[in-house]
């Protein structure tokens, strides 16, 4: 977890801010956004991230779902902040694990950008950061699910090279079908798992540490 607090400051190419959809109209035309990996000890960031996601995603997540992702793969969770107010305005939560023991598969679990900040490339940046980190950890592919009606998310991911590998019948609680999207990264991703050699070292698959160690470590320091 040495790369924590590795900040990415970029200037987002701002689009004209329309008053209705961007209550940020009092801000200067260029909004400074800073990006950082999650600090698992920063409770207020974690709370902010949870709030952001629970407002924007249709599925309800318990604290255990967040724990599952954040404690095991904090390096794959990024936060976008309004640099001026330091407020968390976007986040991506992901994991990286062996799939059927043969492929290292990244998974984007949650992605959300606060409504007022949308359309400025923030999600795109978050996704890139997370995927770059997965690639560093040896990912063969990246997967996620999104509702068939979520045009924004589908376009975002497809423009990054994700392909629709499956349609999932009535996958979401709100009755919609979903697409499973996959971004193939290595040769392993383009061979059916039945015909792949098992991964040599599951640690290659990007898990940082044993679940248990991490959790105990965190329990003693964080009250999340």
Ligand X SMILES: CC(C)(COP(=O)(O)OP(=O)(O)OC[C@H]1O[C@@H](n2cnc3c(N)ncnc32)[C@H](O)[C@@H]1OP(=O)(O)O)[C@@H](O)C(=O)NCCC(=O)NCCS
Give the C-alpha separation, 83 to 154, whole Å: 28
Residue 146 contacts ligand X per CB under 6 A:
yes
Q: Which is nearer to another protein, 113 or 127 (CB)?
A: 127
Interface with ligand X in residues 70-109 (CB under 6 A) = none
Question: Which residue from 32, 119, 180, 193 is in contact with ligand X, where contact means CB under 6 A?
Answer: 119
Give the number of residues written for the chain. Answer: 224
Query: From the CB of 100, what's the least distance to ligand X, in Å?
Result: 23
Using the rule CB under 6 A, give the single segment among 29-37, 134-142, 155-163, 183-191 that binds ligand X. 155-163
CA 145 to chain centre: 12
Smallest distance from another protein to CB 199, Å: 18
| Token pair recorded at residue 26 | 């009092």
Least distance between another protein and beta carbon 183 (Å): 6
Q: Which tokens sit at 13?
A: 């190419």
Nearer CB in complex with ligand X: 32/150? 150
Judge whether 15 and 120 are in contact, CB under 8 Å: yes
Residue (121 or 138) nearer to ligand X, CB: 121
Alpha-carbon torsion (124, 125, 126, 130), positive or negative: positive
Query: How are strands ordered across the β-sheet holding 88-99?
Result: 8-11, 32-37, 78-82, 88-99, 103-113, 141-147, 178-184, 163-168
Cα 220 to Cα 131: distance, rounded to the nearest angstrom: 30
> Least distance in Å: CB of 67 to ligand X?
20
- Tell me which of ligand X, another protein, none is bound by residue 146, counting a contact when its beta carbon lies within the kind-specific cut-off of 5 to 8 angstroms: ligand X
- Report how far residue 199's alpha carbon sits from residue 126's, in angstroms, rounded to the nearest whole number: 28
Q: Count of residues binding ligand X (CB under 6 A)?
A: 21
Q: How far apart are CA 17 and CA 135, in angstroms?
A: 35
Nearest to another protein of 81, 95 (CB atom): 95
The residues binding another protein (CB under 8 A) are 54, 60, 62-65, 67-68, 71-72, 128, 131, 135, 148, 158-161, 163-171, 173, 175, 177, 179, 182-185, 189-192, 194-195, 211-212, 215, 219, 223-224
Closest by Cα among 133, 131, 125 to 144? 131
220 token code pair: 């003693």
- Stretch of 68-76, 143-151, 162-170, 206-214 contacting ligand X, by CB under 6 A: 143-151
Interface residues with ligand X (CB under 6 A) are: 56-57, 111-113, 118-124, 144, 146, 150-153, 155-156, 159
């Amino acid at each position: 977890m040495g790369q924590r607090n590795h900040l990415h400051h970029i200037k987002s190419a701002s689009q004209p801010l329309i008053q209705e959809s961007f209550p940020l109209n009092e801000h200067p035309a260029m909004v400074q956004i800073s990006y950082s990996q999650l600090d698992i000890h920063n409770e207020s960031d974690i709370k902010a991230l949870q709030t952001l996601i629970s407002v924007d995603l249709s599925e309800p997540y318990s604290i255990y779902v967040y724990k599952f992702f954040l404690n095991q793969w904090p390096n794959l969770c990024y936060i976008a902040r309004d640099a001026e107010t330091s407020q968390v305005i976007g986040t991506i939560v992901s994991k990286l694990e062996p799939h059927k023991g043969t492929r290292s598969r990244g998974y984007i679990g949650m992605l959300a950008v606060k409504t007022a900040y949308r359309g400025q490339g923030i999600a795109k940046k978050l996704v890139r950061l997370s995927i770059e980190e997965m690639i560093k950890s040896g990912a063969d592919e990246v997967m996620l699910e999104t509702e068939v009606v979520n045009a924004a998310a589908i376009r975002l991911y497809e423009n990054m090279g994700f392909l629709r590998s499956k349609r999932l019948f009535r996958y979401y609680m709100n009755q919609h079908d979903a697409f499973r999207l996959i971004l193939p990264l290595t040769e392993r991703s383009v061979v059916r798992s039945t015909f792949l050699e098992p991964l040599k070292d599951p640690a290659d698959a990007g898990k940082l540490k044993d679940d248990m160690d991490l959790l105990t470590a965190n329990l003693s320091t964080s009250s999340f």
